[in-house]
Structure 1
Amino acid sequence: MMRRSTLLSMDAFSRAEDDVRVRTRAGAYVTLACLVTTVFLLLSEYRQWNTIVSRSSLVIDREHGLKLDLRLDVTFPHLPCDLVSFDVLDDSGVLLLDVDDENNHFTKTRIDQRGEPLDAAAAASFKLDAEAAQLPPTDPDYCGSCYGSRDQTRNDELDPANKVCCNTCSSVREAYLDAGWAFFDGKNIEQCEREGYVDKISQRITEGCRIKGGVRLNRVQGNIHFAPGDAFRSARGHFHDTSMYDQTGSLNFDHIIHHLSFGPSVDNMQSLEKASNVAIAPLDGKQVLPRYDSHAYQYTYFTKIVPTRFEYFSGSVIETTQFSSTFSARPIGGGTTETATYTSGGTPGLYFNIEMSPLKVIHKEQNKISWSGFLLNCITSIGGVLAVGTVVDKILYRAERTLLNKKQ
């Protein structure tokens, strides 16, 4: 009997008999208010649990063998496609000179002075017989001069197959590059005059160029750049034949960046804010079109690339990058302005200096609250509403009883 009494004394949910309960109109209103409030809070908790958010974390990048998928779309309004070259250099020793269109999926589109692409008829207005331009004259004994850029003094002693010859305009240009000589526009060079190279350059000198495409890069520090003339490398370093650019003052590297990214886009990630998408391609739409003479200017973007992983709620994963960039415009002749003093040297062009971050950002889609958190919040909401309702009901009941006693 004692044990039962002890156990009953521990009942925290003691109940009164129905015949001693007092039901009031105020209590009914409080009950209805509690029910409405409880339903509203439970629906709110469900929406919170069903909401997908993106949570970010920062880790050391331990991925190996991944590449940077460079994707760019740049317009040069005052530089013809024939005079611009695109090179890639990195600290691992990889060197890509004048990146090939076919192998790296780049296209060059000629544009007019208004920035509009030339239609097929206009693009073909300068017509060269492509086959004749790439082949030597029909004379089988023809051996074109290299104009001193290569040693041809012993040609008379050699068989025709072993002679040093420059039979086309392109072979003369290559010989000039190997010798480190300025080629200019090919004027007075018999091969270039015959093939129409001189006319080609003079007719297109007022055009612009839009370069679009992509290439895979190593995840190491380096730079990609657009520079005038053909690129060549010697014991002294990496150079460009800027002779034609230097003698034409109307040319410059003013540019419009339509798109630049180092990885795939994640525009379809539901929970990401727009700011996250902008960080993947923050330079999109940037225009550098100064009103001053920018012929002898070098434009440089110092980019800091952060590897980024986006983990979707569905389970799919995208490896990409985000980057920040700082812009600099420097006259290669040096000089002093109101804000800075510049050193002389360098080549006109558009440069992107790349620096990789050792850290990786992970954006992961998940429920705003966990399942256990949802249940706990529901129980808390119900208990809180009942507790507040009980207090309000007691206050109203006591107030009602007090008023009735005063009237009596």
Structure 2
Amino acid sequence: MPSHPRLLSLDAFAKTVEDARVKTASGGMITMICVLIVLLLIRNEYYEYTSVVIRPELVVDRDINKQLDINMDITFPEIPCGVLTLDILDLTGDLHLDVVQSGFEMFRILELGEQVKDDLPIMALSSNFDELCKGLSEEERNNGAPCGSCYGALEQSESQYCCNTCESVRLAYAAKQWGFFDGSEISQCEDEGYVAKMVERINNNEGCRIKGSAKINRISGNLHFAPGAPFSSRGRHLHDLSLWGKYAEKFSMKHKIDHFSFGEDPGSSAALAYSDIDQVPSIHPLDGFTFDVGRKNHVALYYLSVVATRVEFLENKRDPVDTNQFSVITHDRPIQGGRDDDHRNTMHAQGGVPGVFFHFDISPMRIITREEYAKTWSGFILGIVSSIAGVLTVGAALDRSVWAAEQVLRGKKDA
């Protein structure tokens, strides 16, 4: 190729004449070391290129108006089924009373640890008041249809309301804010066998396990277990504590949380998403948690911050998983208030209802976590080129330094 004066002046790769090159043993040693280092760096670049990492991204949650599943599996070893109710309240004013029967199952825990499905659904309070305590029509009155007594809890002078079942009496008592206790001396409850079964379970120190799912609004609120039928009074949410107080030596708020999560239920596809990755988030921090405070009039409080999470897999090999992560702070206090046993300078407020309360705060943000390779193909090639160039540059500088040192030492020796 014919030379051009201007191109010659721009040549950054000046050549040396082969006869002017000098090869040394030290140069060969440095070359071998450089080759080994380059191979090691290429290996590291390839390992990084093929490794999978999670890259999180925070975005606004556009599904805020959709309802959210809440999944629970909680055991109360010292409270029989039928004593506690489960209610959900949120900041919109929606109140879901005793949702145990809507998607949940209850299991009695017998003395030897055996679990039997609960057979007392009559106290669920899930029925509509007007339907359950429905009065008699004129035709029914004329035909002599029965109208069970509500024991003064409802107006019955003209059979406006009738309490023909134990559940209807309890519902009428709750509407009147009367103590129902265990239903003793109420003929409907005695005839249905509720009283005998409840007294037997309490005396046998049975426990109760509640598991299942329910839907909640995607907004801050609380879910709680508390004794007795729930009712509202002047904007306050209260519970009938008559049965709780009748047995002074029974019951405590001990419980174990086998599982607690929001959104997609266990099996935890979300956990599987991180099966081969080091950065595994704790999406179910309450699983296996045990509350051992064996006090009767005590409240256990859990404050949860929930963040929606979407997991997208590498190269779309699996369908994305939508789940929820949450952090939790736990606290407990006695209902009667007073100084804390462990921190004498802390004073607890007095009042409230004994129970287990989960206060949840739903974040308006969503975390999207994506599985990606740590490096792209172009990044991998660039890394290899940079590694080779860097090592050879350092090797050349080192070789020149060694050569110069040898020349100085040889000159001094010849002198």
Alignment pair present for 1:42 and 2:45? no
The amino acid that maps onto 1:369 is K
Q: SS at 1:268's partner residue?
A: helix
The amino acid that maps onto 1:145 is S
Q: CA RMSD in A?
A: 2.9
- 169, 177, 182: which is aligned to 2:179? 182
Q: SS at 1:149's partner residue?
A: coil
Alignment pair present for 1:389 and 2:378? no
Deviation readout 1:81-139 (Å, 9 max, x if unpaired): 111111111122322111143x42x111111346x23358xx88x9x9xxxxx9xxxxx
CA distance in 2, matches of 1:231, 1:57: 42
Partner of 1:144: 148
The amino acid that maps onto 1:353 is H
Q: SS at 2:154's partner residue?
A: coil
Q: SS at 2:210's partner residue?
A: strand
Q: Cα–Cα, structure 1 residues 5 and 314, in superposed 2: closer, same or farther, change >3 Å?
A: closer
Matches within 5 A, 1:205-284: 205=202, 206-249=205-248, 250-264=250-264, 265=268, 266-270=270-274, 272-273=277-278, 276=281, 278=282, 280-284=283-287
Q: Cα–Cα, structure 1 residues 236 and 47, in superposed 2: closer, same or farther, change >3 Å?
A: closer
CA distance in 2, matches of 1:272, 1:47: 14
| Contact 1:77–1:113 under 8 Å retained in 2 | no
| Contact 1:109–1:117 under 8 Å retained in 2 | no
| Contact 2:253–2:296 under 8 Å retained in 1 | yes
CA distance in 1, matches of 2:216, 2:387: 54
How far apart are residue 192 of structure 1 and its match? 1.7
CA distance in 2, matches of 1:145, 1:231: 22
| Contact 1:90–1:223 under 8 Å retained in 2 | yes
CA distance in 1, matches of 2:310, 2:289: 26
CA distance in 2, matches of 1:17, 1:200: 106
The amino acid that maps onto 2:180 is F
Q: SS at 2:315's partner residue?
A: coil
CA distance in 1, matches of 2:353, 2:47: 59
Partner of 2:126: none
Which sections of structure 2, spanning at least 5 residues, go unmatched?
123-131, 133-143
The amino acid that maps onto 2:300 is Y
Partner of 2:301: 300
| Contact 1:75–1:257 under 8 Å retained in 2 | yes
Q: SS at 1:267's partner residue?
A: helix
CA distance in 1, matches of 2:155, 2:28: 110
How far apart are residue 164 of structure 1 and its match? 4.1
Q: Cα–Cα, structure 1 residues 385 and 107, in superposed 2: closer, same or farther, change >3 Å?
A: same
Q: SS at 1:213's partner residue?
A: strand
The amino acid that maps onto 2:327 is S
Deviation readout 1:369-389 (Å, 9 max, x if unpaired): 333332222111111111122
Deviation readout 1:345-379 (Å, 9 max, x if unpaired): 22111111112223333323222233333222211
Matches within 5 A, 1:7-406: 7-101=7-101, 103-104=102-103, 106-113=104-111, 116-118=113-115, 142-155=146-159, 164-205=161-202, 206-249=205-248, 250-264=250-264, 265=268, 266-270=270-274, 272-273=277-278, 276=281, 278=282, 280-291=283-294, 294-315=295-316, 316-337=319-340, 338-401=344-407, 406=413
Residues paired across the two proteins, number: 380
Q: Cα–Cα, structure 1 residues 335 and 25, in superposed 2: closer, same or farther, change >3 Å?
A: closer
Partner of 1:137: none
CA distance in 1, matches of 2:280, 2:14: 57
CA distance in 1, matches of 2:12, 2:157: 114
| Contact 1:303–1:354 under 8 Å retained in 2 | yes
CA distance in 2, matches of 1:21, 1:326: 73
Q: SS at 2:106's partner residue?
A: strand
Q: Cα–Cα, structure 1 residues 227 and 393, in superposed 2: closer, same or farther, change >3 Å?
A: same
How far apart are residue 172 of structure 1 and its match? 1.9
Normalised by the length of structure 2, the TM-score is 0.82
Q: SS at 2:30's partner residue?
A: helix
Partner of 1:160: none
Q: Cα–Cα, structure 1 residues 150 and 304, in superposed 2: closer, same or farther, change >3 Å?
A: same
CA distance in 2, matches of 1:395, 1:274: 46
CA distance in 2, matches of 1:386, 1:98: 74
The amino acid that maps onto 1:247 is K
CA distance in 2, matches of 1:379, 1:148: 91
| Contact 2:52–2:277 under 8 Å retained in 1 | no
Which sections of structure 1, spanning at least 5 residues, go unmatched?
129-133, 135-139, 156-162
